[in-house]
Amino acid sequence: MAASILAVDDSASMRQMVSFTLKGAGYDVVEASDGVEALNIAKTRAVNLVITDVNMPNMDGISLIKELRALPGYRFTPLLMLTTESGVDKKQQGKAAGATGWIVKPFNPDQLLKTVSKVIS
Amino acid sequence: MSECANMGLLSQDHEEEGQGSQYLTFKLAGEYYGVGILQVQEIRGWEAATRLPNTPPHLKGVVNLRGNIVPVYDLRSWFGMPAAEYTKETVVIIVRVGHEGERRSMGMVVDEVSDVLVAKDDQVSATPSFNAAVPTEFLQGLVSDGDDMVMLLDLNSLAGSSATHHAEGMA
Amino acid sequence: MSIDMAQFHQVFFEESFEGLDVMENGLLNMDPGEIDPEEINSIFRAAHSIKGGSGTFGFTNVSEFTHVMETLLDEMRDGRRPVTGEAVNVLLASVDVLREMLTAAQDGGEPDEERVKEQHAELTRVLANADAPDGPAADAGHAAVAGGEFTQVEPVGWKIVFRPHQHLLRTGNDPLRIIRELGELGELAVICDTSELPPLNDLEPEDSYLSWELHLNEPVAKEEIDEIFEWIEDDCDFAVIPLLPEGYESATPTTATAEQAAVVADEAPPAPALKVLDPPPERRVSEDRRKEDERRKPSPGGKSGAGGSSIRVDTGKIDSLINMVGELVITQSMLGMLGEEFSMDKLARLREGLGQLERHTRELQESVMQIRMLPISFTFSRFPRLVHDLSNKLGKKIELEMSGENTEVDKTVIEKIGDPLVHLVRNSVDHGIEMPHERVAAGKPETGTVRLSAEHRGGNIVIEITDDGKGLARDRILQKGIQRGLVREEENLSDKQIFELIFQPGFSTAEQVSDVSGRGVGMDVVRRNINELGGSIEIDSEQGRGSTITIRLPLTLAILDGQSICVGGEIYIVPLASIIESIQVRKDMLRRVAGKGETFKLRDEYLPIVRMNEVFGIEEPKATEIEDGIVVVVEAGGSKCGLFVDDLLGQQQVVIKSLEANFGRVEGISGATILGDGSVALIMDIPGVIRLSRSNAPVSHPEMSMTA
């Protein structure tokens, strides 16, 4: 069964790009446009990896990560943040919230795939 | 008409380079005319067209072509030939004219459809200046087919003339 | 695997332009006195998204420019910088430049470089004038450099001590992954230290107790190893020690904590407990040092999605459409089966099936039309800025009130109503609202109000533009009308009829033609544009108090409610919206009026009779005597008349088909439709019919209904 990934970003073009890239590599992808939507999805189905942007309306990425870690099914799930180069403190905040790691924007599809394949074996 | 013109519309035999272009030929008041086959969209029997008010008499009106509204012209009337009664054989040739981005369809009422003619470019001669029924600006050239002479219509010039909308622009 | 990024560009541009609107509106609404944190956040997010997307999709100039804006906004939202009017203005101007840059990117062209540079400098200047205690946030990426000193000698490998903290697993990181990645760099020998493992009873399965000593026999760059540990720096202890060729002292351990020293000091050659197979070492490029040429040129040769425009549709709407089509298919196959072997006893089921077909088709039709509906806010959104800038320029004080922005209208309306509305709003601002001192002198509040509203009323959309300015100069308009021969002096015209004159071509009573409006090319074009949308426009005004312009538009553009009529065996459709009533006229109601032809009396007016057979050149109408036929009273553009036809047929909804696709315009005809029997019926264009009838009338004269 294909590994499933939850991709969260309020930018539709980013979501599309991420989704398209990952699906092309055989992953099953679910999309959400903010933290609230993502959390609801995560509560109803298990995914193998969550990739989330940080700046989103309704619930930002860091809060999402915090909430996900509190769910029993997500205590060890890899959770990755999409962050910009200059966001030093964001990385720290993310880690404090329980993030596994980050992918720096802008990134190209190959980098995304490489990182994802490292994390989902 | 000579046998060599007896090709089906879908004939592939003459697709090779140098074999020439295909024309659909038809009859109008005893004379043969032709149009490039690539411009022919379909051939239908005559059905009543809806007249457009204040339009020249050779514009019979518009018909429904699979949901599209297409004008139909009577070529005899357009070219000043005597009118003919519409019979079971009367046929409307629907052609598609124009260039990239601006194509339109229109129908032409003719007496009957004849065969597909293949002619190489060097077989087409310029229209002579003698008084042909059709004004020379609408003719692409002449081609002989056995004993007969086929006048090739320049559809783009026909479709572009003001006669499509007004009576004054006619032959 | 190479993916063509260009397929995402269209969506990126759409959402970026939307983001620009969010930014612009947000900035316009910002009140330096009271900052709404959520508002600033949404402006920041919009900039952030544009920056991120443009970087990802290769529009680096956009990304760089937006980065500066984002930095400024970030400081504002954090409270590190006050929101000043100056900063807001600079940001607003930057939004304009950004819009230009995005448009250029979309069209495959180049923006005005000078302007970009100028604006960039402005932004930087504002940023530099920081009241903020600390300067702009450090731009440099935080490279996870583990520090360290290298000896002159190049290491032949590395000794890595890796001890995850207890909680490491709870970050979703897996030590085995780290080891695996190290193994990808080269030949790796692994020793696992289980000394910390507690007895089974005390074992917390979610904690990590193991640690490893790994020997990487490959002269890779230290950064490559550091990168693997980047994410878990704080969640583990690790030391990376260079292994030197025979005969050299081992270098000072780097980032070694005191506890590691013991492990590190162990010089015993590693007895590989696990030998990791070595895949070819991958050249790993640190994400922080990404300098790849990802410069992908925007799609060459023009706009993305050239020609075709697009709409974003809620997927829920699409799902329900799919369901409806499913229902339709079921009904169709049921009818198909019935038709295969039909016998009269199945008639009831046939009727039932046809009824279902009608219902499903109607539902589908309504839903699909719905998809093309967008809130009119798309058109209204430009007006706050427009009024703001324009009133500043003219030195007037004007407040714009808008309501009904959520009113949904067809996409084509959104596209085509913009320009006419701009013209009308500009009129209100330029000619309607007076200068502040004039208003005060007239006992009005200094600030004028322009109100823009939209609502569904009846089967129509009604858009109103109201202002509390000085109103239309009735007498001046009348004078001008007389001057131009549009009206005769003795005619007693109502105010409404006088205002109608404004819609005549070339009509303008403005004393000075400002470049804003008033060249007189406007109102007739506005009316024509609105007519083309199938709508109507009216103006009402009270001198000194203000004016109201009312625009009525049909809800859907492709479907028309029509009344079928026939003349001489030909069927025409009259748009129901223009019909006032249909009556039978008796001979004694007729009166011939000099210069107006045949008229008939309707209540207190005499309206001209328009014989359709004459207007359309139909040769043999069934009815020639007035009482043998029907008169359909219609109204268009303020004029009324009665169309004389043979008969009324039914009323029905018709789908409008274009005549222009294959033919062209015909005066008096607005389009065609296909009747149930497959034949074509023409749809009348009432203003055109009226024009045609006048050109046949004995004296060319604008028709006005006359009071008895």
Task: Report residue C551's pLDDT band, with 50, 70 and 90 as the boundaries.
Answer: very high
Q: Which of chain C's residues have a Cβ under 8 Å away from the Cβ of B105?
A: 662
Is residue C655 in a domain? yes
Is residue C139 in a domain? no
Q: What is the pLDDT of residue C458?
A: 65
For residue B97, the SS3 value is: strand
Decide which of C554, C584, C613 is a domain's last residue: C554
Cβ within 8 Å, pair B70-C662: yes
- Counting CB pairs under 8 A, whether chains A and B reach 3 or more, is no
Is residue C296 in a domain? no
Of C637, C662, C633, C688, the closest CA to residue B54 belongs to C688
Q: How far off is chain C from A39, nearest CA to CA, in Å?
A: 17
Q: How far off is chain C from B119, nearest CA to CA, in Å?
A: 30
Mean pLDDT, to the nearest integer, of B95-105?
A: 81
Q: Which of chain A's residues have a Cβ under 8 Å away from the Cβ of C9?
A: 13
Out of B53, B69, B106, the one facing C672 most closely (by C-beta) is B69
CA distance linking residue C385 with residue C483, whole number of Å: 38
CA distance linking residue B158 with residue B59, whole number of Å: 13
Q: Which of chain A's residues have a Cβ under 8 Å away from the Cβ of C42?
A: 57
Fold designation for A4-119: Rossmann fold (3.40.50)
Output the CA–CA distances (angstroms, integers) from residue C675 to B63, C32, C356, C666, in the order listed. 11, 62, 21, 20
Q: Which residue of C has its CA nearest to B63?
A: C680
Task: Report residue B131's pLDDT band, with 50, 70 and 90 as the boundaries.
Answer: low
CA distance linking residue B133 with residue B135, whole number of Å: 7
Regarding whether C351 and C443 lie in a shared domain, the answer is: no
Q: What is the pLDDT of residue C488?
A: 73
Cβ atoms B91, B45 nearer than 8 A: yes
Task: Report residue C552's pLDDT band, with 50, 70 and 90 as the boundaries.
Answer: confident
**DSSP summary character for residue C431:** I
Is pLDDT above 80 for C134?
no
Q: What is the pLDDT of residue C23?
A: 92
Task: Report residue A88's pLDDT band, with 50, 70 and 90 as the boundaries.
Answer: confident
Q: What is the pLDDT of residue A63?
A: 93
Out of A10, A55, A107, the one facing C56 most closely (by C-beta) is A107
Cβ atoms A80, A115 nearer than 8 A: yes
Mean pLDDT, to the nearest integer, of C439-465?
A: 89
Q: What is the pLDDT of residue B168?
A: 57
Q: What is the pLDDT of residue C436?
A: 93
Regarding whether C527 and C407 lie in a shared domain, the answer is: yes
Cβ within 8 Å, pair A78-C230: no
Q: What is the CATH number of the domain that holds C456?
A: 3.30.565.10
Of all residues in chain B, what percent carry a pLDDT higher than 70? 82
Is residue C295 in a domain? no
Give the angle subtended at the CA of C14 by the CAs of C8 and C18, to the nearest 5°.
140
Around Cβ C405, how many Cβ atoms within 10 Å?
A: 15
Q: What is the pLDDT of residue C644?
A: 94
Is residue C635 in a domain? yes
Is pLDDT above 60 for C1?
no
Output the CA–CA distances (angstroms, integers) from residue B23 to B76, B92, B120, C547, in the order listed. 20, 16, 11, 65
Domain boundaries, chain A: 4-119
Regarding whether C579 and C487 lie in a shared domain, the answer is: no
Neighbours of chain B (3+ CB pairs under 8 A): C
Mean per-residue pLDDT of chain C:
78
Task: Report residue C684's pLDDT band, with 50, 70 and 90 as the boundaries.
Answer: very high
Regarding whether C516 and C387 lie in a shared domain, the answer is: yes
Q: What is the pLDDT of residue C142?
A: 32
Regarding whether C532 and C389 lie in a shared domain, the answer is: yes
Is pLDDT above 60 for A84?
yes
CA distance linking residue B75 with residue B107, whole number of Å: 10
Task: Report residue C66's pLDDT band, with 50, 70 and 90 as the boundaries.
Answer: very high
Decide which of C284, C302, C327 is a domain's last residue: C284
Using CB atoms within 10 Å of the CB of residue C495, give its burial: 0 to 12 exposed, 13 to 18 middle, 19+ buried. Answer: middle
Using CB atoms within 10 Å of the CB of residue C180, give its burial: 0 to 12 exposed, 13 to 18 middle, 19+ buried. Answer: middle
- Among B155-169, C507-521, C615-629, the range with the most confident prediction by mean pLDDT is C615-629
- Sequence-separated (6 or more) residues with CB below 8 Å from residue B43: B91, B92, B93, B94, B113
Cβ within 8 Å, pair B64-C659: no
Is pLDDT above 50 for C355?
yes
Q: What is the pLDDT of residue C202?
A: 78
Domain boundaries, chain B: 3-8+19-164
Is residue C461 in a domain? yes
Of all residues in chain C, what percent carry a pLDDT higher than 70? 81
Instruction: Report which secondary-structure segment, H or E, holds C549.
Output: strand C546-554
Q: Chain C within 8 Å of A19 (Cβ-Cβ)? A: no
Length of chain B: 171
Is pLDDT above 80 for B162?
no
Cβ within 8 Å, pair C657-B54: no
* Number of domains composing chain C: 5
Is residue C586 in a domain? yes
Using CB atoms within 10 Å of the CB of residue C647, give its burial: 0 to 12 exposed, 13 to 18 middle, 19+ buried. Answer: middle
Q: How far off is chain B from C639, nearest CA to CA, in Å?
A: 23
Q: Which residue has the higher pLDDT, B51 or B136?
A: B51
CA distance linking residue A49 with residue A3, whole number of Å: 8
Q: What is the pLDDT of residue B148?
A: 87
For residue C259, the SS3 value is: helix
Regarding whether C513 and C379 lie in a shared domain, the answer is: yes
Decide which of C516, C534, C554 is a domain's last residue: C554
Out of C666, C674, C692, the one facing B52 most closely (by C-beta) is C666
Rg of chain B over all Cα atoms, to the nearest angstrom? 16
C79 residue type, one letter: G
Q: What is the pLDDT of residue A85?
A: 65
Whether the ipTM is more than 0.95: the answer is no
Is pLDDT above 60 for B7?
no
CATH homologous superfamily of B3-8+19-164 equals CheA-289, Domain 4 (2.40.50.180)
CA distance linking residue C36 with residue C15, whole number of Å: 23
Is residue C362 in a domain? yes
Judging by DSSP bridges, how do beta strands C590-593 and C597-602 pair with one another? antiparallel
Neighbours of chain A (3+ CB pairs under 8 A): C
| Parent domain of C42 | 6-128
Regarding whether C564 and C511 lie in a shared domain, the answer is: no
HEC sequence for C156-175: CEEEEEEEECCCHHHHCCCH
A 27-86 residues inside an 8 A Cβ radius of C: 53, 55-57, 69, 75-79, 82, 84-86
Q: Which of chain C's residues have a Cβ under 8 Å away from the Cβ of B54?
A: 616-617, 666-668, 692
CA distance linking residue C679 with residue B160, whole number of Å: 27
Task: Report residue C506's pLDDT band, with 50, 70 and 90 as the boundaries.
Answer: low
Task: Report residue C517's pLDDT band, with 50, 70 and 90 as the boundaries.
Answer: very low
Cis peptide before A106 (omega within 30 of 0): yes
CA distance linking residue B46 with residue B75, whole number of Å: 13
Of all residues in chain A, what percent carry a pLDDT higher than 70? 96
For residue B148, the SS3 value is: strand
pLDDT in tens, A20-43: 889 988 899 999 999 999 999 999
Around Cβ C463, how many Cβ atoms within 10 Å?
A: 28
pTM: 0.48
